[in-house]
């Protein structure tokens, strides 16, 4: 009675306390039969036309960070989609949206924002150029404003095209990498056992964008993307981080998925 009585109303008691940082990976959707020319390729230059949509939860001794929120809102998921609700996947490892301390998304495209409204009680970390575009009167394409409208009133940490050390110890750093969208960002993670990982968002979609130097046709600003890619290349070399292209099926297929985790 004593312990329970001291918890604030609505506090999640199941959420795990951790002594070192973890990364959980979720299946948040499937995009099939993409047009490869949309990504700057000729037919046959890439081995697959299918994407995975990944969501990630970082659990740190000082809080939790949700990174990207999926393709389809949980409430709109079709039973035959083969994708389980994000809230179900979170519950299976002991978390509810109310437990999440921070929300950040790589960018505003609708395959990354589907369940964003569920995390409106978290502190939203966003680049100012991205937030401005998200709440502009004229939404750009590949944007679903209804999926993130609740964030307008969230506690927000606005970044001015800068990097941000989420937990203050260098273990989870959001890095500005604009070009795909005005305020696209990536997430650098430094693990005790599993080394350094960079969640690259949509800096690339296919690994061949990197090797063949191609850009999607729907890039917000190609020269800016080129600069971001070069800066991240340099950063990867310096940190020896493994770059995780979030839509890449091959990377996902061999990754640890929740309830397993990186640590
Ligand atoms: Zn995407």
Average pLDDT, the chain: 93
68: left (phi over 0), alpha (psi -120 to 50) or beta: left
Ligand 1 ion: residues within 5 Å (CB): 111, 202
pLDDT band at 105 (very low <50, low <70, confident <90, very high): very high
pLDDT band at 260 (very low <50, low <70, confident <90, very high): very high
Q: How far is the CA of 111 from the centre of ligand 1 (A)?
A: 5
Query: Per-residue pLDDT averaged across 212-228, rounded?
Result: 96
pLDDT at 14: 52
- C-alpha distances in angstroms, 136 versus 83, 95, 140, 220? 31, 33, 9, 15
Residue where the block lists tokens 């740190």 = 60
Q: How far is the CA of 218 from the centre of ligand 1 (A)?
A: 12
Q: How far is the CA of 110 from the centre of ligand 1 (A)?
A: 8
Distance CA 111, CA 263 (A): 26
Distance CA 94, CA 128 (A): 32
Do you find a cis peptide bond into 259, omega within 30 degrees of 0? yes
pLDDT band at 13 (very low <50, low <70, confident <90, very high): very low
High-pLDDT (> 70) share of the chain, %: 94
Burial 228-254 (b: 16+ CB within 10 A, else e): bbeebeebbeeeebebbbbbbeebbee
Distance CA 74, CA 64 (A): 21
Q: How far is the CA of 204 from the centre of ligand 1 (A)?
A: 9
pLDDT band at 15 (very low <50, low <70, confident <90, very high): low
Nearest Cα residue to 66 out of 104, 31, 35: 104
Q: How far is the CA of 202 from the centre of ligand 1 (A)?
A: 6
Question: Is the pLDDT reported for residue 11 higher than 50?
Answer: no
Least confident of 2-16, 43-57, 101-115: 2-16
Q: How far is the CA of 55 from the centre of ligand 1 (A)?
A: 11
pLDDT at 152: 98
Q: How far is the CA of 240 from the centre of ligand 1 (A)?
A: 24
Q: How far is the CA of 247 from the centre of ligand 1 (A)?
A: 7
Least confident of 2-16, 29-43, 118-132, 156-170: 2-16
Q: How far is the CA of 183 from the centre of ligand 1 (A)?
A: 14
Q: How far is the CA of 257 from the centre of ligand 1 (A)?
A: 19
pLDDT at 31: 94
Q: How far is the CA of 241 from the centre of ligand 1 (A)?
A: 21
pLDDT digits (tens, 9 = 90+) for 175-199: 999 999 999 999 999 999 999 999 9
Q: How far is the CA of 227 from the centre of ligand 1 (A)?
A: 19
Q: In what side-by-side order are the strands of the sheet with 195-199? A: 164-165, 172-176, 185-191, 195-199, 242-244
pLDDT band at 99 (very low <50, low <70, confident <90, very high): very high
């Amino acid at each position: 009675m004593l312990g329970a009585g001291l918890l604030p109303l609505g506090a999640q008691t199941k959420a795990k306390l951790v002594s070192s940082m973890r990364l959980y990976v979720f299946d948040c959707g499937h995009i099939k039969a993409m047009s490869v020319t949309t990504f700057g390729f000729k037919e046959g230059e890439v081995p697959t036309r299918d994407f995975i949509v990944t969501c990630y939860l970082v659990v740190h001794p000082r809080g939790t960070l949700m990174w990207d929120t999926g393709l389809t809102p949980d409430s709109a998921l079709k039973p035959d989609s083969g994708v389980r609700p994000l809230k179900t996947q979170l519950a299976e490892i002991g978390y509810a949206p109310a437990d999440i301390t921070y929300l950040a998304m790589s960018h505003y495209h609708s395959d990354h924002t589907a369940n964003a409204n569920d995390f409106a009680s978290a502190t939203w970390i966003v680049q100012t150029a991205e937030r401005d575009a998200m709440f502009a009167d004229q939404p750009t394409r590949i944007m679903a404003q209804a999926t993130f409208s609740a964030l307008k009133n969230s506690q927000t940490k606005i970044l001015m095209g800068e990097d941000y050390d989420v937990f203050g110890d260098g273990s989870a750093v959001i890095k500005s990498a604009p070009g795909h969208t005005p305020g696209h960002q990536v997430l650098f993670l430094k693990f005790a056992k599993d080394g350094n990982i960079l969640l690259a968002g949509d800096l690339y979609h296919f690994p061949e964008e990197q090797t063949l130097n191609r850009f999607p046709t729907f890039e917000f600003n190609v020269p800016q993307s080129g600069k971001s890619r070069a800066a991240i290349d340099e950063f990867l070399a310096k940190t020896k981080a493994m770059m995780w292209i979030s839509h890449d099926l091959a990377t996902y297929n061999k990754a640890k998925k929740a309830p397993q985790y990186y640590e």
